Chain A
Amino acid sequence: MTTGNIENWAGEIAQIGAIYPFLGSEVMLFAIGAILWFGWFIVQGRMEEREYQEELNRADDKR
């Protein structure tokens, strides 16, 4: 079982290119990363709105 294309470091090092695992998954990784990145904005935006509403409600209750 191997996740990379490097079996050992004994060959011609000059011929080795990418060394990260799951070569070929770059587009999928980009898609996952981009979805998480955009998704963070949405989740955080909703969280911030809830926080402000709670504060406003608390301020209203004090009055």
Chain B
Amino acid sequence: MEQETTAITVLFTEFYYWVMIVLMFLIKVGFCVYEVAASRYKNRLHTLMQVTMHIPLVTLGFFFVGWWIYWAFPNGPGITGGLVSAPHAVPWSEFMGPHLGGADDPAGWARLNGVFWGAFLLFSWTVAAIVSTATIERIRSNAFWILAVLIGCVLWVIDAAWGWHPDGWMVQKLGYHDAYASGVIHAIAGGFSLGVLIPLGQRIGRFRADGTAREFMPHDPWLATIGLFIIFTGFWGFYAACNIPMWDVQSGDGVFFSATNIYLGPTTLSAITFNFLMSLSGGFLAGYLVSKGDPFWTYSCALAGVISASAGNDLYHPIQAMLIGVAGATIAYKAHYWVENRFKLDDGVGAVAVHGYAGCFGVIIAGFVLWGYPASPNPDYATISPLGQTAGAVIMFFVLGFLPGYIVANILKKFDLLRIPEAIELKGLDVGQEIAAEAAAKEIEEAEKTHNSAT
């Protein structure tokens, strides 16, 4: 840090990620608002606690093991090599606390470890929150939090080590490209949610005797859409945090600084600004038409539009991003209702579709639109291809998402730990708090009457 230019680069990078963490808090706020609003009134407080308490649980899990997994698992291990040494990421490392770097840290990693950890942690919160939205109103909180730690501290981190790391084996061998996490966050979360929803089962009354679905309306549709709008705002931080703000991308001699994607390929903030807004717009426009102006689905489809284009939004032309957003949002909406009707799947907010199906579509379509592009500055790594991307989508959605979710949820179900009791589901999860609130109000009323009589 003695060189001024090095110091400016390190301190700028440190500040950049710190600000993005703050912006990404809005994703969490949005999920809290949206999920509580989407639930029925009798379940709102428990829903709020379900989506809130995974924050500290996933935070601790990510400190204890998640960060180490990201750095240690790029080779599989056992696919392209063994475990990678990651001494800065083990929970007892000096670098996992306040550290000025000392004599052996010319790159300033001591200053960046915490903000980098924090940015990844916010991604972990996001992936767990997605699962929370799908499982509302009948999952036990304890079961959900176990599943949240599994997806947020282990599974998505493995997928990031494999496919969202400059030297991940999926990048090396498949040319996997997923700049803004269509697969590594959204497809895996959607697949995991689907795996949990099957053993979890439907909410009571969700389907009629003839098999058609009843719509469980959000108890506050206005608040649900505002929650989604807040998520869009936080998503800006997510996109910028997926980039590296400043990196020398010139190979060999010479220097050229640019923003890069996570794979160290050059891109710009202008590129993602164009493409985020155009894919959001494509999703909005398609969602409004297919849902006939339904507010909840119009906003959800806007999100699906961004998710669909995210895999390649570092490179697409904005109108390509818009068209991909239109297609992905339409697929998500149609697939949601097809699966619901065909398989009687009760997905509280369409999370499997908006994140899972749109995410998979996003990964696969990038294979066609970006066919032949280098997946990495390393010329020995595979290029982007439809086959590589499709294999990547299967790994994300099914291997690391659906299968573990299905297995662990079934284990929890076997020990009667997955679902709330039926009587509680019928009365409402907040029934205890409602009774306590009524009793407290009555006691205050009596106290006021006594006070009035005395005076």
Interface residues of A (CB under 8 A from B): 1-4, 6-10, 12-14, 16, 19-22, 25-26, 29-30, 32-33, 36, 40, 43-44, 47, 51
Q: Would A13 and B266 count as touching, CB distance under 8 A?
A: yes
Q: Roughly how many angstroms separate A54 CA and B91 CA in the complex, as a whole number? A: 63
Q: Would A36 and B249 count as touching, CB distance under 8 A?
A: no
- Per-residue contact bits, chain B 209-225, to A (CB 8 Å; 1 contact, 0 not): 00000000000000000
Chain B positions within 8 Å of A10 at CB level: 251-252, 377, 379
B320 to chain A, nearest CB (A): 7
Q: Would B370 and A21 count as touching, CB distance under 8 A?
A: yes
Q: Roughly how many angstroms separate A59 CA and B379 CA in the complex, as a whole number? A: 68
Contact of A47 among B256, B285, B289, B319 (CB under 8 A): B289
Q: Would B373 and A29 count as touching, CB distance under 8 A?
A: no
Q: Roughly how many angstroms separate A12 CA and B250 CA in the complex, as a whole number? A: 7
Q: Would A3 and B379 count as touching, CB distance under 8 A?
A: no
CB of B374 closer than 8 Å to a CB of A: yes
Chain B positions within 8 Å of A7 at CB level: 372, 374
**Chain B residues numbered 405-422 whose CB sits less than 8 Å from any CB in chain A:** none
Q: Would B371 and A40 count as touching, CB distance under 8 A?
A: no
A10 to chain B, nearest CB (A): 5
Contact of A40 among B289, B316, B377 (CB under 8 A): B289
A53 to chain B, nearest CB (A): 14
A27 to chain B, nearest CB (A): 11
Chain A positions within 8 Å of B373 at CB level: 2-4, 6, 21
Chain A positions within 8 Å of B302 at CB level: none
Contact of A20 among B292, B317, B379 (CB under 8 A): B317
Q: By CB atoms of chain A within 10 A, which of B249, B293, B320, B379 has the most? A: B320
- Per-residue contact bits, chain B 278-290, to A (CB 8 Å; 1 contact, 0 not): 0000000100110
Chain A positions within 8 Å of B335 at CB level: none
Q: Would A9 and B374 count as touching, CB distance under 8 A?
A: yes
Q: A13-B256, A19-B315, A20-B320 are in contact. Are A3 and B369 (CB under 8 A)?
A: yes
Q: Would B317 and A22 count as touching, CB distance under 8 A?
A: yes
Q: Would A1 and B372 count as touching, CB distance under 8 A?
A: yes
Interface of B is mostly: loop
Q: Roughly how many angstroms separate A14 CA and B285 CA in the complex, as a whole number? A: 37
Contact of A6 among B256, B374, B376 (CB under 8 A): B374
- Per-residue contact bits, chain B 221-261, to A (CB 8 Å; 1 contact, 0 not): 00000000000000000000000000001111010101000
Q: A8-B374, A20-B320, A21-B315 are in contact. Are A14 and B379 (CB under 8 A)?
A: no
B147 to chain A, nearest CB (A): 38
Q: Would B320 and A21 count as touching, CB distance under 8 A?
A: yes
A3 to chain B, nearest CB (A): 5
- Per-residue contact bits, chain B 303-317, to A (CB 8 Å; 1 contact, 0 not): 000000000000111
Q: Would B249 and A3 count as touching, CB distance under 8 A?
A: no
CB of B322 closer than 8 Å to a CB of A: yes
Q: Would B266 and A3 count as touching, CB distance under 8 A?
A: no
Q: A1-B372, A21-B320, A44-B289 are in contact. Are A9 and B377 (CB under 8 A)?
A: yes
CB of B158 closer than 8 Å to a CB of A: no
Q: Roughly how many angstroms separate A1 CA and B367 CA in the complex, as a whole number? A: 11
Q: Roughly how many angstroms separate A40 CA and B317 CA in the complex, as a whole number? A: 21
CB of B323 closer than 8 Å to a CB of A: yes
Q: Roughly how many angstroms separate A6 CA and B251 CA in the complex, as a whole number? A: 15
A60 to chain B, nearest CB (A): 22
A35 to chain B, nearest CB (A): 11
- Contact sample, A vs B, 22 pairs, CB 8 Å cutoff: A3-B369, A4-B315, A8-B374, A9-B251, A9-B266, A9-B377, A10-B252, A13-B256, A13-B258, A13-B266, A14-B250, A19-B271, A20-B320, A21-B315, A21-B320, A21-B369, A25-B317, A29-B319, A29-B320, A32-B319, A33-B323, A47-B292
B252 to chain A, nearest CB (A): 8
Q: A9-B265, A36-B326, A44-B288 are in contact. Are A29 and B317 (CB under 8 A)?
A: yes
Q: Would A21 and B289 count as touching, CB distance under 8 A?
A: no
Chain B positions within 8 Å of A20 at CB level: 315-317, 320
Known contacts A4-B315, A9-B251; 15 further A-B pairs (Cβ under 8 A): A1-B371, A1-B372, A3-B368, A10-B251, A12-B254, A13-B258, A20-B316, A21-B317, A21-B320, A21-B373, A30-B319, A32-B323, A33-B323, A43-B289, A47-B293
Chain A positions within 8 Å of B292 at CB level: 47, 51
- Per-residue contact bits, chain B 326-354, to A (CB 8 Å; 1 contact, 0 not): 10000000000000000000000000000
